[in-house]
Amino acid sequence: QPPRSCEDYWWEWKHCRGLRHAFHHYYAHGELPACGRWREDYEACRAWEKGRAAAAQEALCKSERARVMEKQKYAPVWKLRKSPPPDWYLPLDQDKPN
């Protein structure tokens, strides 16, 4: 069984090709999104479901592993706390002048 349903790959491909997503991606990254990977994953998923093709299974698993590794590449923006600050219950100093 594939890691995701094939419809998920189809939806991601359609979303990636959409005008709104392309505009946002171009604004944020300065280039149009590369959507071919989603289409290839969809085709590999269909081949895996239809004929249990080993090559399609390996390609799809490799693509999913690469996607997970790409997500883990970036460090979190915020430092996560272990506990709340000691004065968390005190009122904020919004009314006091600096």
pLDDT of residue 27: 94
Residue 54 within any structural domain of the chain: yes
Q: What range defines the domain where residue 60 resides? A: 6-65
Residue 47 within any structural domain of the chain: yes
pTM of the full structure: 0.68
pLDDT of residue 12: 94
Structural domains counted in the chain? 1
Residue 11 within any structural domain of the chain: yes
What is the C-alpha separation between 71 and 56, in angstroms, rounded?
Answer: 23
pLDDT of residue 18: 95
Q: What is the dihedral of CA 64, 33, 10, 15, to 10 degrees?
A: 130
Residue 77 within any structural domain of the chain: no
Share of the chain above pLDDT 70, in %: 95
Residue 13 within any structural domain of the chain: yes
pLDDT, tens digit, for every residue of 46-57? 998 888 888 888
What is the C-alpha separation between 94 and 88, in angstroms, rounded?
Answer: 15
Which region, left, alpha or beta, applies to residue 29 given φ > 0 means left and ψ of -120 to 50 means alpha? alpha
Residue 71 within any structural domain of the chain: no
User: DSSP per residue over 12-58, as a string?
Assistant: HHHHHHSHHHHHHHHHHHSS----HHHHHHHHHHHHHHHH--HHHHH
Q: Does residue 97 carry a pLDDT above 80?
A: no
Residue 88 within any structural domain of the chain: no
